[in-house]
Amino acid sequence: MSKSFKIFIAAAVMIAALTSCKSQFEALLNGSDVDAKYAAAFDYFNKGKYQKAAQLFESLSVLTNGTARDDTVQYYWGLSNYRYKDYYTAETNLSNFLTNFPNSPFAQDAAFLRIDCLYRSTYRYELDQNPTRNAIAVINQYLVDNPDSPHRTICENMLKNLNERLDKKAFENAKLYYNMEYYKAAWTAFKNILKDDADNIYREDILYYLAKSSYKYASMSVESKQKDRYLTFVDDYYNFIGEYPDSRNRKELSHYYDRAQKALGRYSGTEADLEVKEKDFNRDNEKNETIR
């Protein structure tokens, strides 16, 4: 028997075996033997074949509706999809399960798994954050309903991560206006962040860019409107140094403050003193650019 013929035979046997397995699974899937299908579904689940298990549990959900096995089938349908990493479908399964079987012994685990599905289905900060907000709302409600949950620490870490993502989204969106030199829009955007979320983790940077935006907006304004706009910057400057007196950005903002005071006719130093500060500032900027 030639080598090529042996390979052909082996391939044929393998194809036959696969076809047989497929036909057996399809027979189970399309059949109405509840006990056989139930046993096979758990067999596939226990062997880690979660996609096939999910298909069988889905098929069973119609046959076991209203029976003692109903909640078990519904729960393992969702759990199979979860283990298969189809989190979108699993979340739908688990949400329906919790609506239909709130008192099931599987309910507590299902509630946490649903949260995990929602968490895993969120996007990085640059993309749509509606799933993030939805996940935050569901997790918060879960912690209210289950104050002693063994998953509390995990849920709190999820909340921390999701809220930080929203903080970054808001900060980067406002900073985009600044980078585009739309300083009035940037100032308004940074102000709104602090109005909506005073504890944003980027608070120091927000106050810094808020002050820079108001300064640059004032310096680019027509002379008749500069006074009021420089006064806005002065308020922003004091707010910043009041909260972050040791910030690495204080020196830069203090330089802008001196310029603003000169424009307002309030600068108490001499022209020579201001020129020295200007040279120091420009030299520091050049060093920072070189380091970058």
Helix/strand/coil (H/E/C) assignment for every residue in the chain:
CCHHHHHHHHHHHHHHHHHHHHHHHHHHHHCCCHHHHHHHHHHHHHCCCHHHHHHHHHHHHHHCCCCCCHHHHHHHHHHHHHHCCCHHHHHHHHHHHHHHCCCCCCHHHHHHHHHHHHHHCCCCCCCCCHHHHHHHHHHHHHHHHCCCCCCHHHHHHHHHHHHHHHHHHHHHHHHHHHHCCCHHHHHHHHHHHHHHCCCCCCHHHHHHHHHHHHHHHHHCCCHHHHHHHHHHHHHHHHHHHHHCCCCCCHHHHHHHHHHHHHHCCCCCCCHHHHHHHHHHHHHHHHHHHHHC
Of all residues in the chain, the percent with pLDDT exceeding 70 is: 85
Distance CA(142)–CA(85), nearest Å, equals 22
Give me the mean pLDDT over the 162-168 stretch. 97
pLDDT at residue number 6? 44
pLDDT at residue number 227? 96
The band of 291, judged by pLDDT with boundaries at 50, 70 and 90, is very low
Model confidence at 116: pLDDT above 50 = yes
Give me the mean pLDDT over the 156-181 stretch. 97
pLDDT at residue number 24? 86
**Tens of pLDDT along 134-155?**
999 999 999 999 999 999 999 9
pLDDT at residue number 287? 57
Give me the mean pLDDT over the 229-238 stretch. 97
Of all residues in the chain, the percent with pLDDT exceeding 90 is: 79
The band of 212, judged by pLDDT with boundaries at 50, 70 and 90, is very high
Model confidence at 183: pLDDT above 70 = yes
Give me the mean pLDDT over the 109-136 stretch. 96
**Tens of pLDDT along 55-84?**
999 999 999 999 999 999 999 999 999 999
Model confidence at 211: pLDDT above 50 = yes
Give me the mean pLDDT over the 263-273 stretch. 78
The band of 270, judged by pLDDT with boundaries at 50, 70 and 90, is low
Instruction: Report in angstroms the alpha-carbon separations of 272 from 153, 263, 267, 268, 269.
Output: 59, 16, 12, 12, 8
Model confidence at 49: pLDDT above 80 = yes
Return mean pLDDT, the chain: 89
Contact 94, 78 (CB under 8 A): yes
Distance CA(157)–CA(226), nearest Å, equals 46
The band of 267, judged by pLDDT with boundaries at 50, 70 and 90, is confident
The band of 256, judged by pLDDT with boundaries at 50, 70 and 90, is very high
